[in-house]
Structure 1
Amino acid sequence: MTAVPSFEPLSPADVATVAAQLGREPRGVAGVAWRCPCGKPGVVATNPRLPDGTPFPTTYYLTCPRATAGCSTLEAEGLMAELAARLAAEPGLAADYERAHAAYLADRAELGTVPEIEGISAGGMPTRVKCLHVLAAHALAAGPDVNPLGDITLARLGEFWARPCLSGHDVEAAPEAVHE
């Protein structure tokens, strides 16, 4: 496992980019957790309690439109069911996924404690596969070998960042981010 990731502060340009990526103003953002090689935010870290007081378990929020669209495609193609079957059949993978859940909770604890969501991570961890977007976001933010299902998702996505980005990081080419 890696150490708790550090987050870069969100600059005014980052806020504008993330707003364009999401199609709305970002809420409760603690910082940028991963940047695309082009320099734009691709994953933001979100505080565990939104400014309106709502508990928010999704610490790592995928904003890159190409990655978001790719995860949606992988979900539609059945990757979540495939990964769920692998979790049931591969004890080692299940144990690694349990460790990813613990790492996610530890990262969120660095941002604050919210009793209403204590023990709840995201993406279905530690026993289900509910959202590839969250798992990919965690893998991008934490780096390889922390979230095995996020790593598998990223491998299936391929080099989604390889094409030159358009204004707003391909906002025009991808649908709004979908997360739990």
Structure 2
Amino acid sequence: MSYAVPENPTDVTPADLEVLAEQLQRKARGVVGIAARCVCGRPLVARTLPRLPDGTPFPTTYYLTHPGAVAAASTLETRGVMKAMTDRLQEDEELAAAYRAAHESYLADRAELGHVDEIDGISAGGMPTRVKCLHVLMAHALARPGVNPLGEETLALAAPMWSRDRCTC
């Protein structure tokens, strides 16, 4: 399939939904935009509704979809990166404050899409006090560069395996 980047890179097109289904190996649900794209134009991060079409609350506004990025995040998780980051949050007040600000930013971004009582105040990835999912942190950093310090750190750690600057589609 040939691929053209939409005029507005955040728009989601039928072609994007096909790519997402290929990447996820299932139909994507609740997608309202593409929050980040590969340098070739294909989706890296889907922006999803806070309530899926079947009624399920879904706190993951930014969903990492690119297989190479997903694999890199998984590899880092197996190496104990989440525990080390969580430990640093307990020791580094400046990092903890920046991570709390990332949590608030995430909540504000989700609020633009609607309010769901069941997930009120809950962002994703363990924010604001711990790290429980590097996939979410990478997706957040790709969608909103400079907002999530641990997401940016995860992208840097992933760079030998996968990088947003290099197409591996």
Same fold (TM over 0.5): yes
2:20 maps to a residue whose letter is V
**Using the alignment, how far apart are the partners of 1:107 and 1:161 within structure 2?**
22
Secondary structure, counterpart of 2:112 in structure 1: helix
Secondary structure, counterpart of 1:155 in structure 2: helix
Shift of 1:9: 2.1
**Using the alignment, how far apart are the partners of 2:38 and 2:15 within structure 1?**
14
Q: Which residue of 1 aligns with 2:126?
A: 124
Runs of 5+ unmatched residues, structure 2: 1-7
Determine if contact 1:7/1:45 at 8 Å carries over to the other structure: no
**Using the alignment, how far apart are the partners of 2:97 and 2:110 within structure 1?**
20
Change in CA separation of 1:164 and 1:99 when aligned onto 2, cut-off 3 Å = closer
Secondary structure, counterpart of 1:111 in structure 2: coil
Instruction: Spell out the pairing of 1:40-51 with structure 2 (5 A cutoff).
Output: 40-51=42-53
**Using the alignment, how far apart are the partners of 2:70 and 2:55 within structure 1?**
26
1:77 maps to a residue whose letter is R
Q: Which residue of 2 aligns with 1:94?
A: 96
Determine if contact 1:66/1:161 at 8 Å carries over to the other structure: no
How high is the TM-score relative to the length of structure 2? 0.91
Runs of 5+ unmatched residues, structure 1: 1-5, 170-180
Shift of 1:74: 0.2
RCO greater where, 1 or 2, for CA within 8 Å and sep 6 or more? 1
Runs of 4+ in structure 1 deviating by more than 3 angstroms, as ranges, are: 161-165
CA RMSD in angstroms, aligned pairs only: 1.4
Q: Of the candidates 17, 20, 38, which is equivalent to residue 18 of structure 1? A: 20
Instruction: Spell out the pairing of 1:18-167 with structure 2 (5 A cutoff).
Output: 18-144=20-146, 146-158=147-159, 159-161=162-164, 164-165=167-168
**Using the alignment, how far apart are the partners of 1:105 and 1:163 within structure 2?**
30
Determine if contact 1:47/1:112 at 8 Å carries over to the other structure: yes
**Using the alignment, how far apart are the partners of 2:16 and 2:54 within structure 1?**
22
Shift of 1:81: 0.9
**Using the alignment, how far apart are the partners of 1:20 and 1:115 within structure 2?**
32
Determine if contact 1:136/1:150 at 8 Å carries over to the other structure: yes
**Using the alignment, how far apart are the partners of 1:51 and 1:155 within structure 2?**
35
How many residues were matched structurally?
160
2:86 maps to a residue whose letter is A
Determine if contact 1:7/1:30 at 8 Å carries over to the other structure: no
Shift of 1:31: 0.6
**Using the alignment, how far apart are the partners of 2:101 and 2:139 within structure 1?**
16
**Using the alignment, how far apart are the partners of 2:167 and 2:37 within structure 1?**
14
1:157 maps to a residue whose letter is A
Shift of 1:138: 0.3
Secondary structure, counterpart of 1:88 in structure 2: helix
